[in-house]
Each structure stands twice: as C-alpha cells, then as structure tokens.
C-alpha cells in the first residue's frame, strides 16, 4: 500500500485542484452489471499453475461532475465469486469486493455520444474463502490488494437526463495466498471488468 500513497495523493489533489463550476446536473448515478475477467495466467501457488475464474455481478457508481469534462467517480459492486484452480483442480472458492475511486475525463460532452477515459485506485478485499478438494478443511486466506485502475467507455444520451454507459476497466490486483497461515505463493489476477449500465443525471 505504501507504494500507492503517492498515487492516492495525486488523485486527491487532482480532484481538489479542478475548477468548480455552476452546473445544475452535477451528479450522475449509474446502475448496471459488470463481468470481471481475470487474465489467463494467475501465477503459481505451491508450485502449481493457478487459474481464477470470472464472474458477473450488479454494479453501481456515483460520479460528481466537477466541470463538464472532469468527474470524480466511486464504483461499487455486489461481491464477486471466483473459483480457484491449481493444475486444473478446484481448491478454493473466494469472494471479493473491488471498489474503485478515480477521475474521468469526458470528451464531446455536448454530443449524444460522449467517450471518456479515467484513472484511479482500486482496493480489493477477499473474504469468505472456502477450501475445496485437496484443501477441504484447511484455512485459506488471500491478502487484500491495492492497485492502479484504468477506465474507458462511452456515454450515450437517450434523453436530457438518462444515458446508457458501456465501459471497461483494467485493475491491478495481486495478492499473497496463505493456507493454514503459511504463504504458498502469489496470485496475479489483473482483470478486465466490462459492462453496461443505465445512468441518470441530477
């Protein structure tokens, strides 16, 4: 986490430094669903190749438009569920929450179609981890993770206040894995999270 303190400071200072403006439509709330798709190679645990499955869950975000182009956004989601396999054998089921705080820049905000890009910080907390198969009955834990998150997408206005948003995020997620308190390796998930949501400006 110490390595991310400078990034957190930059994001916070960047948001604070952006000029405020009079805007009756300063907030956007979005509700939708996102699929978390981990990268194909998730590292080595106890000398065996690890594979983490993906999942699809409801998501919500709240964005404050500091200017017509700049917005500060918080993304939250229902807990994602992942199967963990070693050399093809399922050894655990893990749940995680990956809130993301970041800043977005919106292009062509006066148009019906407005693309955007963003950068932020992701915190992933793993919980309710159950050992399966050869790890049945053991205590499996996965450390929480801090990492950079990159964001890109497009807003499509369907009325002055309503929109449809399609987006994709890349998140830097990597954690140590422990079995009965002993570290057995490091898993690198680094997923893409892509989805669609409905948004409302107010």
Task: In whole angstroms, give the CA distance from residue 142 to residue 92.
Answer: 11
What does the pLDDT look like over 108-139, one tens digit per residue? 999 999 999 999 999 999 999 999 999 999 99
pLDDT the model gives residue 41: 87
CB-based contact 142:128 (threshold 8 Å) = no
pTM for the model stands at: 0.84
The candidate with the shortest Cα–Cα distance to 97, out of 75, 74, 77, 120, is 77
Q: Is 12 helix (H, G, I), strand (E, B) or coil?
A: helix
CATH class of 2-201: mainly beta
Q: Which residues contact 13 (CB under 8 A, 6 or more apart)?
A: none
pLDDT the model gives residue 24: 54
Q: What is the CA radius of gyration of the chain?
A: 19
């Amino acid at each position: 986490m110490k390595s991310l303190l400078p990034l957190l400071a930059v994001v916070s200072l960047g948001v604070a430094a952006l000029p405020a403006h009079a805007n009756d439509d300063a907030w956007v709330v979005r509700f939708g669903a996102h699929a978390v798709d981990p990268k194909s190679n998730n590292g080595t645990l106890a000398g065996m190749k690890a594979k983490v499955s993906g999942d699809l869950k409801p998501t919500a975000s709240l964005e404050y438009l500091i200017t017509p182009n700049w917005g500060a956004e918080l993304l939250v989601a229902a807990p994602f569920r992942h199967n963990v396999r070693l050399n093809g054998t399922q050894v655990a089921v893990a749940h995680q929450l990956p809130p993301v705080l970041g800043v977005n820049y919106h292009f062509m905000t006066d148009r019906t179609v407005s693309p955007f890009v963003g950068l932020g910080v992701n915190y992933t907390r793993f919980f309710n981890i159950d050992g399966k198969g050869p790890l049945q009955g053991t205590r499996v834990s996965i450390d929480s993770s801090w990492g950079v998150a990159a964001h890109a997408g497009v807003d499509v206005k369907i009325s002055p206040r309503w929109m449809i948003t399609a987006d994709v995020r890349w998140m830097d997620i990597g954690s140590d894995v422990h079995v009965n308190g002993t570290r057995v390796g490091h898993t690198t998930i680094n997923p893409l999270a892509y989805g669609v949501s409905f948004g409302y400006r107010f």
